[in-house]
Amino acid sequence: MSTFFLDISISLDGYVAGPNITLEEPLGKRGEQLHEWVFATRGWREPHGLEGGEDSADSEIVKKTVENVGATIMGRRMFSGGAGPWESDPNADAWWGDDPPFHNPVFVLTHHARESQPKQGGTTFHFVTDGIEAAFAQAREAAGDKKIQLSGGAQVAQQYMQAGLLDEIHLHVAPVLLGGGQRLFDGQTNELERVSSSESPSGAIHISYRLVK
Amino acid sequence: MSTFFLDISISLDGYVAGPNITLEEPLGKRGEQLHEWVFATRGWREPHGLEGGEDSADSEIVKKTVENVGATIMGRRMFSGGAGPWESDPNADAWWGDDPPFHNPVFVLTHHARESQPKQGGTTFHFVTDGIEAAFAQAREAAGDKKIQLSGGAQVAQQYMQAGLLDEIHLHVAPVLLGGGQRLFDGQTNELERVSSSESPSGAIHISYRLVK
């Protein structure tokens, strides 16, 4: 059965986005500091169509993460930054242009139905209106034996943890205190097992946990 | 000048004590799970007058932490679990009996004056009523060139971070989600540098940060 994992950068004080999230600053104030480690890697830059980047241990971590992913799940806010009917969402076509970096079917959790949106490079956005379990079932169907990645955001991650469906959490803990914003953990009490950890030259720590079921 | 450091065990979701703190359960619900890694070490058990324990890498970390500490600072709640006048505090003599594990002068932050309490083994409890800067000045005087340890709890740590007086934070991140309790970080935005990290066989991660001033 495919592994369902969350891979996310987080501040030392537990935030996956800073305060004051806007369309211009979708990661909130100072939120991009969480991702400095990944922006520096070739493993991240290449699938995002950017030149350069380092072939570091961090880059290997990124490559290994996206390797063999057969489906992706994300929340509506992560997709477009918006909420409510699509007609009034100024970013209804999302952040990633015609060639998004997913290269697999992406299931977007939303309350507002919409036709699937095929893009270049193997990414198709599907919009799921009947809840997290339905999205998970569709993602499993699409992924086959491959992994399923939960992209975020925090609320969706909390719902999947609560439902006991998530298998693994890979955290990249940035050496940053944001002082506010969107917390990844908020009342979850899942039992954890540490799987691995390593240092990033950026000052972050990579830590992986298995959720005990 | 002496280094002023906080050394504290914390859950993956950022709590240094669980919910529902009582005199019987001063670490709150499931809070003792944060400290499993340290309870297993000889380096912790020996100064606490307990037999056994492992001579592991964890034990070395504990020994190195308490080595060369010349003074300790803690909050009133950490000292006794209580608040208000000492006469009505059922735990006014604290948790540690006649031979506390500190072996140096301990400065307790409180709103209620009290005479110093000398104990065995070099520990003397002093009660400081004029604030965190006064306690720090007294601890520096007492420590000389040695280190000053901030024992906790969270509110006192936040005050020292806010005031820019703390030099280092050593975290022991337990593979546990408490789901509630006392957060270590709450609005701080200090700039950090990661100093070191290592894995504990218990499943915890030890991470040290320097606070940039």
Would you state the pLDDT for residue A1?
75
Encode pLDDT of A27-45 as tens digits. 999 999 999 999 999 999 9
Instruction: Give dist(CA A135, CA B165) in Å, integer.
Output: 49
- Nearest chain A residue (CA) to B19: A187
Read off the pLDDT of each residue in B182-209 and give the average, rounded to a whole number.
96
Q: Which of B11, B12, B176, B208 to mutate to test the interface with A (most CBs of A within 10 A)?
A: B12
- Our CA-based measurement puts residue A101 at a distance from the nearest CA of chain B, in whole angstroms, of 30
- Count up the domains in chain B and report the number: 1
Instruction: Give dist(CA B194, CA B188) in Å, integer.
Output: 16
Would you state the pLDDT for residue B208?
97
- Tell whether A92 is covered by a domain: no
Q: Which domain holds residue A196?
A: 4-18+27-86+101-211
B195 touches chain A (CB under 8 A): no
pLDDT at B138 over 80: yes
Encode pLDDT of B39-66 as tens digits. 999 999 998 889 999 999 999 999 999 9
A209/B178 touch (CB, cutoff 8 Å), yes or no:
no
Mean pLDDT score of chain A: 95
Tell me the percentage of chain B whose pLDDT exceeds 70.
Answer: 100
Encode pLDDT of B62-96 as tens digits. 999 999 999 999 999 999 999 999 999 999 999 99
The per-type count for chain B, helices as H runs and strands as E runs, is 6, 11
Would you state the pLDDT for residue B24?
87
Helix (H, G, I), strand (E, B) or coil at A135: helix
Instruction: Give dist(CA A17, CA A11) in Å, integer.
Output: 8
Query: A-B interface: how many C-beta pairs under 8 angstroms?
Result: 71
Report ipTM for this prediction: 0.93
Read off the pLDDT of each residue in A60-69 and give the average, rounded to a whole number.
95
Helix axis angle, A154-162 relative to A132-143, nearest 10°? 90
- Tell whether A145 is covered by a domain: yes
Please name the member of A180, A190, A203 whose beta carbon is closest to the beta carbon of B194: A203
Q: What CATH number does the domain containing B144 carry?
A: 3.40.430.10
Tell me the percentage of chain B whose pLDDT exceeds 90.
Answer: 94
pTM of the model: 0.95
B189 touches chain A (CB under 8 A): yes
pLDDT at B1 over 80: no
B134 touches chain A (CB under 8 A): no
Encode pLDDT of A180-189 as tens digits. 999 999 999 9
